[in-house]
Amino acid sequence: MNIFRFAGDMTHLISILVLLLKIYATKSCSGISLKTQELYALVFLTRYLDLFTDFISVYNTIMKLVFIASSLAVVCCMRMHRVVRRSYDKDLDTFRHYFLILASFVLALLVNEKFTFQEIFWAFSIYLEALAILPQLVLLQRSGNVDNLTGQYVFFLGAYRAFYILNWIYRYFTEQHFSRWIACVSGLVQTVLYADFFYYYFISWKNNAKMQLPA
């Protein structure tokens, strides 16, 4: 464990807490893409298949449980909660995310570390995570204005993978046999996808203005 990875995990945790705060505090999920939340639940469920077979550390196990539980909680809340679900931007959240699932699965069958059930689903979860934010970014683009908590949610979500890139660089230079090309390349793509969002987020922060994405 290194400081970059720990910072990344904590930033990821913060992003989830900000999302839960937004939904419970405002009793609204406007501006949040249910499709992105469903993709994230799928990412965690397929990545942590080794939850009960490979024990890495208490920290690792607890964080896996937190990520799985929180992502499922958000999806259930957005689908079931009678107040929250009314504020879901159903007609704006129309990204065809099934294509992202299909593309990630096909790529995982072709590019993986080992052609085993667990490794294919691990690679699938890595590729899907890189693409999972797309419905959310499209939704924000369409809705134009980004409320503070949603903006902070997406910002922390993007920042966490940027910390992981620093973690991979650090591990590459400090560990002999470190080669996580699948995670590195996918994490790079993931962070780049946030680039334009980061740009407009920074502009709005600098001008101390409400964040506007060009329609």
Partner 1 sequence: SDNEESHDEL
Residues that bind partner 1 (CB under 8 A): 5, 9, 12, 47, 50, 54, 56, 60, 63-64, 67, 113-114, 122, 164, 167, 177, 179-181, 183
Distances (CA, A) of 23 to 9, 85, 148: 21, 10, 13
CA atoms within 13 A on the CB side of 90: 6
What six digits make up the tokens of 122? 């691990």
If the CB atoms of residues 148 and 179 are measured against partner 1, the closer one turns out to be 179
Q: How many CB atoms lie within 10 A of CB 106?
A: 12
Which one, 14 or 92, has the nearer CB to partner 1?
Answer: 14
Q: How far is the CB of 199 from partner 1 (least distance, A)?
A: 27
The residue among 67 and 194 lying less far from partner 1, judged by its C-beta, is 67
Q: What is the DSSP string of 100-166?
A: HHHHHHHHHHHS-SSSSHHHHHHHHHHHHHHHTTHHHHHHHHHH-B--HHHHHHHHHHHHHHHHHHH
Residue 195 CB, shortest distance to partner 1, in Å, is: 23
Q: How far is the CB of 179 from partner 1 (least distance, A)?
A: 4
Question: Judged by CB, which is closer to partner 1: 8, or 31?
Answer: 8
Q: Shortest gap between Cβ of 44 and partner 1 (angstroms)? A: 9
